[in-house]
Structure 1
Amino acid sequence: MNKQVKFAIIAIIIVIPLSSYSVWASDSSLQIREATSFSKLQAIASFYPLYEFAQQVGQDKVNVQLLVPEGVEPHDWEPTIQDVQLIQKSDFIIINGFGFENWVESLGEMNYQGIVVDTSSQIIKNNDEKSILFKNDPHIWLNPILAKTQVQTIADEFSKSDPQNKNFYQKNAQSYTLELDKLDSKIRNDLSTCSQDFIAFHDAFSYFAYEYNLHQHTILSSNDPHSEPTAKTLENIINTARELKINIIFTEDTTDPRVSGVIANEINGKVLVLSPLEISDDGNYISRMTENLDNLKEALC
C-alpha cells in the first residue's frame, strides 16, 4: 500500500467533532484565529529543535506539542492514526522544510485545514547562498544564524494568526535570537584559531561548517544516517583521516558508534559525539550545541 493511499484511509476512518474547533475568519489567504482569553493557539512541531523554538516564541500563549516521539529518529518516521488525529486538531504544523519531513506531502489526504509553517521558506526566499550550495542537506537548524530565521518565521506566523499578541511573540523571538547570537559568537571565537577539517558521520553539518569556515568530511556521503558504508568508503575515510592528521572520528546519538569506532581504531584515535539534535534529551538547543562545540574543540584545537 503506497503512502498516499495509506493516509487517505487513515483520514477517512477518523471522525473529529466539528464542535471542538475554534472559530476561524478568512482574510485573503490568511486564517486569523478569533482569540479569547480562554483559548490558546495549538501548534505541532515536527521534531525537537522546532519544538523548542516554538515554545520559546509562544510560551504560555501557545500549546506546542512534539509530533515525533522522544527518542525516535525523524528521518524515517511516519504518522500513526493517533498522530493524524492530533494533526487535524492543530492550528499549525511547524516543519523544517527542505524535504526533511516526507510525510508532509500527504497532509491533503489527512484533510488538514490549518497552517503549515515551513521554517525554511524565508531562507529560500532570501536566496541564501548556503541554501543553494547545500540544497540536499536539510539540517539548517544546526547553523545558529539560520536557526534565527526559523525562529522569526514561527513568530511571524503566530503573530498573523493571533495579532492581539503580536508584540508578545515578537519580543520572545527577539530575546531568544539574542541567545542564539551569543552562541554564534562563542562558536566563532572558540574555533577561530583551530584546524578546519573534521569527520562527521553523515552530511548533517554542511551549514554549520560553511558558517564557521570548517571542512566537513563524512563517513556516509548521504543524508541518511542509517545507510551502510562500504568497505571502500571506510578505506577512503581512513586514508583521509591519516592525510589530514585527524584523530577524532565523530558519531551521532542516533547511530551505532561501532562504525566510527572501526575508523578510530585504524588511526589510533577515538570517537566523540557530534549530535544533529534530531531527538530530544535532557538538554536544550543551546546547551546541546555547546556540547557539540566542546567536542569540536577537542577534535580541532
Structure 2
Amino acid sequence: MKKARSILTCLFSLLALVAFGVTSQAAEKIKVVTTFYPMYEFSKAVVGAEGHVSLLIKAGNEPHDYEPSAKEMAKISQADVFVYNSNQLEKWAQKMDQVDHTKTKIVEAAQGIKLAKGAKNSEDAGELDPHVWLDPILAKQEVATIEKALAEKYPAKAATFKANQKWYDQKLNQLNHEYQQLRGAKQRAIITQHAAFGYLAKQYGLKQVAIAGLSPDQEPSPSRLASLKKYVKRQRIKLIYFEENANSKVAQTLATETGVRTAVLDPIEGIPQKKITQGATYLSIMEQNLTNLKKTIH
C-alpha cells in the first residue's frame, strides 16, 4: 500500500512538473524589438499572440538620421529578435558588436531585395534607395524574410508564423490590387517632397520627380528649384505632395509659386502617436496615399 502511494505521489509530482513546464513555456513571450513603424507592423503581423513587439524609434520621428542611445542598445541586447529595414537606412545596425548574436537574432527585412540607386537628378544620385516598404510587393518580401527568421529561431511555432504571414499577405495583395488602378494614368508624374516613392512609382508605372533627395532633411539647390518650377508649368502638374512629419516649407513654397494645390503623400517613416492612437496603420496610410495619388493622376 505504501509502495502504491509512493508511486502515485511520484506520478502526481511528475505531472505537476510537466504542467508547470508547459505553463512556463506558454507564459514566455518572444521579445521583438523593431526600428521604425513599418518594421513594427510587419513583425507584429507575423508574431501575433506569440510575442511582444516594441518600437525603438519613437512615434513621430523618422529613421534616416537616428542613432540609438546606450539605453536603446541595451534594449536590443535584451531582445530575442531585432528587426530593421536595411543596412542602407539603419547604417548603425551593422556595428552592433555588443549584441550577442547567439541570443538576439538580427533580421534585416530588406535582405535579398536589390536596392535601386537614387535618381540621377537628385541631390544624392548614386546612393541606394532604402524605401522598399512603400511598394506592397516588396513589403511582402520583407514580411516573408521576417517570418523565415522567426521560424528558424522558433521552429515549434513555425506553423503559426506561416499562417500569420499568409493572413497579412492577403491584405498586401489587396493593397497591390487597388494600386493597380494607377497603371492607366494619363498624367504619370508625381512631385514628391523627397525621393521616397521610387519603388512604388516603378511598380505602378509612375514617374517620381522629387524636390529633395533620399533623406527628407536634404535641401534642394536653387537651380533644382528653378528647374522644378519650369517642369511643373510645362507638364501642367496640378498637385505637389508634401509630408506632415517633415519640414514641408520647400514643397509648400513651390506649390505657391507655381499656383498648384498640395496633398499629403506619407512615406510612413514615423507615424505621430496621435495617429497611432486613432488607429492609423501601415495599411490605412497606404490607402490614404492611394486616395491622394488619384487626385493628380488623370
2:240 aligned partner:
249
Q: For the residues of structure 2 that align with 1:119 and 1:44, how far apart are their CA atoms?
A: 13
2:67 aligned partner:
78
Q: CA deviation at 1:81?
A: 2.1
| Greater shift in the superposed pair: 280-289 or 206-215 | 280-289
Decide whether the 8 Å contact of 2:183 with 2:205 is kept in 1. Answer: no
Query: Are 1:271 and 2:268 counterparts?
Result: no
Decide whether the 8 Å contact of 2:192 with 2:211 is kept in 1. Answer: yes
Q: How does 1:186-265 map to 2 (within 5 A)?
A: 186-220=178-212, 222-265=213-256
Decide whether the 8 Å contact of 2:117 with 2:129 is kept in 1. Answer: no
Q: For the residues of structure 1 that align with 2:92 and 2:226, how far apart are their CA atoms?
A: 36
Q: CA deviation at 1:110?
A: 4.9
Name the amino acid aligned to 1:285. Y
1:140 aligned partner:
132
Q: For the residues of structure 1 that align with 2:117 and 2:95, how far apart are their CA atoms?
A: 28
Decide whether the 8 Å contact of 1:247 with 1:264 is kept in 2. Answer: no
Decide whether the 8 Å contact of 1:198 with 1:217 is kept in 2. Answer: yes
Task: Structure 1: give runs of 5+ residues left out of the alignment.
Answer: 1-34, 125-130
1:293 aligned partner:
290
Decide whether the 8 Å contact of 2:240 with 2:260 is kept in 1. Answer: yes
Query: Are 1:101 and 2:101 counterparts?
Result: no
Query: Are 1:158 and 2:150 counterparts?
Result: yes
1:27 aligned partner:
none
Q: For the residues of structure 1 that align with 2:87 and 2:69, how far apart are their CA atoms?
A: 23
Could you give the per-residue CA deviations for residues 41-97 of structure 1, whole angstroms, max 9, x where no partner exists? Answer: 111111100100111111110211101011112111111122012111011110111
Decide whether the 8 Å contact of 2:105 with 2:153 is kept in 1. Answer: no
Q: For the residues of structure 1 that align with 2:90 and 2:47, how far apart are their CA atoms?
A: 22
> May I ask how many residue pairs the two structures share in their alignment?
260
Q: For the residues of structure 2 that align with 1:99 and 1:229, how far apart are their CA atoms?
A: 21
1:117 aligned partner:
107
Q: For the residues of structure 1 that align with 2:227 and 2:73, how far apart are their CA atoms?
A: 44
1:29 aligned partner:
none
| Greater shift in the superposed pair: 170-179 or 113-122 | 113-122
Q: For the residues of structure 2 that align with 1:102 and 1:211, how far apart are their CA atoms?
A: 26
Could you give the per-residue CA deviations for residues 240-273 of structure 1, whole angstroms, max 9, x where no partner exists? Answer: 1111110211111222222111111122111111
**Max Rg structure:** 2
Of 48, 55, 58, the match for 2:47: 58
Name the amino acid aligned to 2:53. V
Name the amino acid aligned to 2:254. I
Q: Secondary structure at the match of 2:187?
A: coil
Identical aligned pairs, as a percentage?
29
Q: For the residues of structure 2 that align with 1:196 and 1:226, how far apart are their CA atoms?
A: 26
Could you give the per-residue CA deviations for residues 220-240 of structure 1, whole angstroms, max 9, x where no partner exists? Answer: 1x2111122222211111111
Q: For the residues of structure 2 that align with 1:200 and 1:215, how far apart are their CA atoms?
A: 10
Name the amino acid aligned to 2:293. L
Q: CA deviation at 1:298?
A: 0.5
Name the amino acid aligned to 1:85. A
Q: Secondary structure at the match of 2:192?
A: strand
* TM-score of the pair, normalised by structure 1: 0.82
2:4 aligned partner:
none
Could you give the per-residue CA deviations for residues 15-60 of structure 1, whole angstroms, max 9, x where no partner exists? Answer: xxxxxxxxxxxxxxxxxxxx92121211111110010011111111
Name the amino acid aligned to 2:169. T
Decide whether the 8 Å contact of 1:247 with 1:267 is kept in 2. Answer: no
Q: Secondary structure at the match of 2:161?
A: helix
* TM-score of the pair, normalised by structure 2: 0.83
Task: Structure 2: give runs of 5+ residues left out of the alignment.
Answer: 1-23, 119-126
Name the amino acid aligned to 1:277. I
Name the amino acid aligned to 1:91. D
